[in-house]
Chain A
Amino acid sequence: MEKFVLKYFNLIRTIIAILIGFAVSVLILVIVSTSSIESIKYLFLGPFMSVSRIGNIVELATPIIFCGIAIAIPFQASQFNVGAEGTFFISAAFGTAFALIIQKLNLPGFIYIVLVLTFATLFGGFWGFIPGYLKARFKANMVVLTLMLNYAAYFLSIYLINYHFRDKSAGFLTSYRLPENIFLKQFVPNTRIHIGFLIAIASVFIAYYFLYHTTLGYEIRMVGFNFHFAKYSGIDVFKVIVLSSVIGGLFAGLGGMAEVMGIHRRFLWQSLPGYGWDGVVVAIIGKNNPILIMFASLFLAYLRIGGRVLNLLSDVPFEMVGVIESIIILLITAEAFLENVKYRITVKEAEKEVFKNGSLS
């Protein structure tokens, strides 16, 4: 039993953290809500109460997964690149523009889709290259750089869409609608779950393989662990800093365009949607491990949808929903949480080994 606990300790800890988070949320709901039983049900079960809501979870998780990976890769190299937000956005904008421009070629659907997704992915890579190169070359501060670039990405995208690709017939600021044959198919009835989700899952495994099973992934991680050591060992630190940002950018770019092609079918954002920041959250919860990030994204999306349902159907103020969400995330990310329980079990096990039958072995 104790050996079992040790082996799956991290999983068990997360589950307990979630349960405690839920318990605290219940407490809050009991205090703030007049019909607390109902509210509790909305928050926790709401997301599963209909196919379309389950669909909402998956839809919301999709861009978060992409951004989580985009953040995790530079984070693994200890490059605090928080540019996923802007990269996601600008790649979607330029990808949309590109799709509209080459629309005239009347390419067959599949080729068209691949071409546009590739373009947006590469654009994301290019956008990731900028801070990567500036950091490597001029030792600029990564956080500041990418924050600034997020602004640049935002204004550039809005300019591009509003001035050059704006659909004047629409009643609001948006780009022209994309042609039908470039839509990513929504393949689950009554939901908007689209092919982009499958691409996200594939990306998770690709990123995982990349980080832990390739030489470049190894180099990225070693630079992240100790950059002096990497240099001393002969790893090209310059290359790693640049490439970790580029590769992160690829995933953000792909995610941005997939979102446009799968859900909105046009570029209609007028403000940054915030997926990049969710990406930071899930990257931290998932310890920069793509597979854990996938679960973290689904979980975050579940919380968000629960909050949406709660907000919609109960008297609980929207702000409270945010509070509950952050409490749960806080508990999960608290490294030290339950650490001493693990320690106590370890000690007992180890002592059993060393001092068999109560005497010195």
Chain B
Amino acid sequence: MDAQISVRDIVKVYPNGVVANKKVSLDIQEKTIHAIVGENGAGKTTLTKILFGLELPQEGEIFVKGKKVHFRSPIDAIKMGIGMVHQHFMLAENLTVFENLILGIEPTKFKIFLDKKTAKEKILKYIEKYKIDIPLEKKIKELPIGVKQRVEIFKALLRDVDILILDEPTAVLTPQEAEVLFESLRELKNQGETIIFISHKLKEIKAIADVITIMRDGRVISTNSNEELTQHDIARLMVGREVSFERVEEPKEIGKVVLTVKNLTYTNSERIKVLKNINFEVREGEIVGIAGVEGNGQTELVELITGLKTPTEGEIRLFDENISGKSVREIRTRGLVHIPEDRMKNGVAEKAKLKENLISDRYYKPPFSNKGALNYNYIDSEANRLVKDFNIITQSIENPVSSLSGGNIQKVIVTRELSSNPKVIIASQPARGIDVGSEELVHNFIKEARDKKCAVLLVSADLDEILKLSTRVLVIYNGEIVKSFNEVSTLRAEDLGPYMLGVKRGD
């Protein structure tokens, strides 16, 4: 049997000396969905970037459709019929969705003029076909992250490729959205496409993959067909120990109300009411989950609570004090921390050093600084401690964050936010893109914070995460809380679905 893609002994060394792929060999068969899983920093993204011509390997050979190839840039890869959906989006923020979609494949009239009509027709046809809902005329920078993800996927589908690489495409999608995507992927497979799929969600892997390759520390450690492995097997092979997917135990004691959102309304710059009269409370020692399809107002809700935006109407009370209109600093000093939904935009300064990223919320406090002078001795020792405690994989705290793998960047943010003894945690999908082992770690940290009487608001499109951690669940749809569930232990994802999609409404 001839493999669609074969890689042989790929070695990749990054300019900083990290060896991300240590003689990786792999065969990917035609018409299969081939999943690659592995811990954060295992080298998955690196391998796919090499297959897409974004990174050049130092050693090794690649064969596509039986032909030996030397990709110098993605253009070479695209010519060979390869398309890729990136872990961190590669969209032009200032252009509209439509412009982004046709970038590079503009159909032209007489080879000069942009033929918008033909382009649009094609796009509409594909929207119909794949049932992907995207606002064509909006600018990318105005979109919530889940919608950006849809655009990124759609862009790849539009290219009519026959090998499609997807690097964590579902990290910010709801199960419903993911299911639609999977339908499309299966359909594509039946039409003869080969798909490489990376995800940390083992359920998804089990649901869709034909073949599963596990990577660890830059090497392929096994390749099996899906039937040969259980979810637990995969987890164990990946991290080298048992991993629990069980729901956390119920909180022992729930205290007084800490965070109150009262009649909260927000109208955005386009005069759209994105939040309508929201009311809820979060108490000490409980985790309130907000479930919803991305783009239903949760982004704005979090930005309002954390001080990044000011409400149009209504109140946000923290410890019996109205905090709407207060600055981010003022809110943070009251003990509120924030794990943002868009890690690259808000969560880190990529080009700054890792240690500088770890102190961004506390650099002005002693002993991090005294009278305006930074205390690097203390900063370095703290940064090293955090890196160790939270198992962030990096060579040094002096390296820029951009040299970390996606999951490790997420860990940097989680580490910083959870290490300051918070009283209130606002977390948008805190385990996004984190491997199962570290996910357990992150969830444990949140649970421990809860047990230390912290109030937690968990916003997530990942229902497994919501159902695993939450004490109560609220469902948000179209800017409104449409349903609340007080009993979560018996709740199933299917129960939430209809509310999230606006099919059903609660009382």
Which B residues are in CB contact (< 8 Å) with A229?
Answer: 345-349, 360
Interface string of A213-241 (1 = CB under 8 A from B): 11110100110011011111111100000
B352 within 8 A of A: yes
A38 within 8 A of B: no
Bound complex: CA A62 to CA B228 (Å): 73
A349 within 8 A of B: yes
In the complex, chain A residues 315-361 whose Cβ is within 8 Å of any chain B Cβ: 339, 342-343, 346-347, 349-351, 353-355, 360
Asked if A228 meets B374 with Cβ closer than 8 Å, knowing A351-B58, A360-B23, the reply is no
B328 and A342 contact, CB distance less than 8 A: no
Which A residues are in CB contact (< 8 Å) with B356?
Answer: 218, 221-222
B127 within 8 A of A: no
Interface string of B334-352 (1 = CB under 8 A from A): 0000101000011111111
Interface string of B76-88 (1 = CB under 8 A from A): 0000000000000
Which B residues are in CB contact (< 8 Å) with A221?
Answer: 352, 356
B16 and A346 contact, CB distance less than 8 A: yes
B15 within 8 A of A: yes
Bound complex: CA A226 to CA B349 (Å): 5
In the complex, chain B residues 349-377 whose Cβ is within 8 Å of any chain A Cβ: 349-352, 356, 360-361, 363-364, 369, 372-374, 376
Bound complex: CA A230 to CA B363 (Å): 12
In the complex, chain B residues 219-261 whose Cβ is within 8 Å of any chain A Cβ: 219
Bound complex: CA A353 to CA B16 (Å): 13
B124 within 8 A of A: no
B345 and A228 contact, CB distance less than 8 A: yes
B352 and A214 contact, CB distance less than 8 A: no
CB distance from B476 to the nearest CB of A (A): 22
Asked if A232 meets B347 with Cβ closer than 8 Å, knowing A218-B356, A351-B58, the reply is yes
B103 within 8 A of A: no
Bound complex: CA A218 to CA B306 (Å): 22
In the complex, chain B residues 18-67 whose Cβ is within 8 Å of any chain A Cβ: 18-19, 22-23, 58
B373 and A213 contact, CB distance less than 8 A: yes
A234 and B327 contact, CB distance less than 8 A: yes
B13 and A351 contact, CB distance less than 8 A: yes
B11 within 8 A of A: yes
Which B residues are in CB contact (< 8 Å) with A226?
Answer: 345, 348-352
In the complex, chain B residues 153-167 whose Cβ is within 8 Å of any chain A Cβ: none
Bound complex: CA A55 to CA B345 (Å): 49
B329 within 8 A of A: yes
B443 within 8 A of A: no
Which A residues are in CB contact (< 8 Å) with B363?
Answer: 215, 218
A232 and B22 contact, CB distance less than 8 A: no
B123 within 8 A of A: no
Bound complex: CA A342 to CA B356 (Å): 26
Pick from B16, B340, B372: contact of A215, CB below 8 A: B372
B373 and A214 contact, CB distance less than 8 A: yes
Which A residues are in CB contact (< 8 Å) with B506?
Answer: none
Bound complex: CA A226 to CA B369 (Å): 22
B361 and A233 contact, CB distance less than 8 A: yes
B178 within 8 A of A: no
Pick from B22, B333, B372: contact of A360, CB below 8 A: B22
Q: Work out how many contacts link A and B, with CB atoms closer than 8 A.
A: 95
CB distance from B339 to the nearest CB of A (A): 10
Chain B minimum-CB-distance residue to A227: B349
B17 and A350 contact, CB distance less than 8 A: yes
B308 and A231 contact, CB distance less than 8 A: yes
Chain B minimum-CB-distance residue to A229: B349
Bound complex: CA A219 to CA B15 (Å): 28
B332 within 8 A of A: yes
B350 and A346 contact, CB distance less than 8 A: no
Chain B minimum-CB-distance residue to A354: B19
CB distance from B368 to the nearest CB of A (A): 9
B13 and A350 contact, CB distance less than 8 A: yes
CB distance from A300 to the nearest CB of B (A): 26
B361 and A354 contact, CB distance less than 8 A: no
A233 and B22 contact, CB distance less than 8 A: no
Which A residues are in CB contact (< 8 Å) with B360?
Answer: 222, 229-230, 233-235
Bound complex: CA A262 to CA B13 (Å): 54
Bound complex: CA A52 to CA B346 (Å): 54
Chain B minimum-CB-distance residue to A226: B349
Asked if A225 meets B350 with Cβ closer than 8 Å, knowing A234-B329, A234-B332, the reply is yes
A351 and B19 contact, CB distance less than 8 A: yes
Which B residues are in CB contact (< 8 Å) with A353?
Answer: 17, 19
CB distance from A224 to the nearest CB of B (A): 9
Among A214, A218, A230, A231, the one with the most B-chain Cβ atoms within 10 Å of its Cβ is A218
B374 and A214 contact, CB distance less than 8 A: yes
Which B residues are in CB contact (< 8 Å) with A222?
Answer: 349, 352, 356, 360
CB distance from B380 to the nearest CB of A (A): 13
Which A residues are in CB contact (< 8 Å) with B328?
Answer: 231-234
Chain B minimum-CB-distance residue to A217: B374
Pick from A216, A225, A236, A346: contact of B15, CB below 8 A: A346
CB distance from B492 to the nearest CB of A (A): 34
Which B residues are in CB contact (< 8 Å) with A234?
Answer: 327-329, 331-333, 360-361
A350 and B372 contact, CB distance less than 8 A: no
Closest 9 pairs between A and B when the two form their complex, measured CB to CB:
A225-B349, A234-B329, A233-B360, A226-B349, A232-B346, A234-B328, A347-B13, A350-B17, A350-B13
Return 18 A-B CB contacts under 8 Å, by A number: A215-B363, A215-B372, A218-B356, A222-B352, A225-B352, A228-B346, A229-B346, A229-B348, A231-B308, A232-B308, A232-B346, A233-B361, A234-B327, A346-B16, A350-B18, A351-B19, A353-B17, A360-B22
Query: Which chain A residues have a beta carbon within 8 Å of chain B's beta carbons?
Result: 212-216, 218, 221-222, 225-226, 228-236, 339, 342-343, 346-347, 349-351, 353-355, 360
- Given contacts A222-B349, A225-B349, A234-B361, 8 further A-B pairs with CB under 8 A are A215-B364, A222-B360, A232-B328, A236-B329, A339-B15, A347-B58, A350-B13, A350-B17
Query: Which chain B residues have a beta carbon within 8 Å of chain A's beta carbons?
Result: 11, 13, 15-19, 22-23, 58, 219, 306, 308, 327-329, 331-333, 338, 340, 345-352, 356, 360-361, 363-364, 369, 372-374, 376
